[in-house]
Amino acid sequence: MRGDAERFTYVLVDCPPSLNLLTINAMAAAHSVLVPMQCEFFALEGLSQLLSTVDQVRKTLNSRLTIHGVVLTMFDPRNNLASQVVADVREHMGAKVYETVIPRNVRVSEAPSHGKPVLLYDLKCAGSQAYLKLASEVIQREHRMRAA
């Protein structure tokens, strides 16, 4: 039988990109935050605001709150700005940024209009494969964090 320290229940709360009361309440109850971030210039400002909010929540509501990681999304390698955003985020956030980068992908964009998650809509597309790789990376990171 496993010990209590080995049993975990994970609840994923998907919050809107705005830093509203729902997001604050979710952070107050969470043990960590996973931050999806588009590879766009204005997303850098949003990341800065989010980090500030996480610090405030940590100081006032939930001292255990951590950043589990930052997921870079909607990456287009043809766009020099996207590559610069990736470099800037990696420089600032270091190991908190996942290695997996989710590419901009038409199939990912089409899936919701067909009422399906992208993994059911087109498992073999680049976006689905990137999300599967990310899931593996998230699980591995969580195992390392729990072992430490």
CA dist 40 and 95 (Å) reads: 20
Helix, strand, or coil (residue 125): coil
Contact (CB, 8 A) for 142 and 136: no
First-to-final CA distance of the chain: 21
What's residue 1's pLDDT? 42
User: pLDDT digits over 14-31, tens only?
Assistant: 887 788 899 999 999 999
User: pLDDT digits over 47-82, tens only?
Assistant: 999 999 999 999 999 999 999 999 999 999 999 999
117 alpha-carbon distance from chain centroid:
17
Closest C-alpha among 122, 88, 120, 92 to residue 105? 122
CA dist 48 and 50 (Å) reads: 5
What's residue 17's pLDDT? 77
111 alpha-carbon distance from chain centroid:
20
Q: Give the burial string for 119-136 (b: 16+ CB within 10 Å, else e).
A: eebbeebebbbbbeebee
Report the CATH superfamily, name and number, of domain 1-104. Answer: P-loop containing nucleotide triphosphate hydrolases (3.40.50.300)
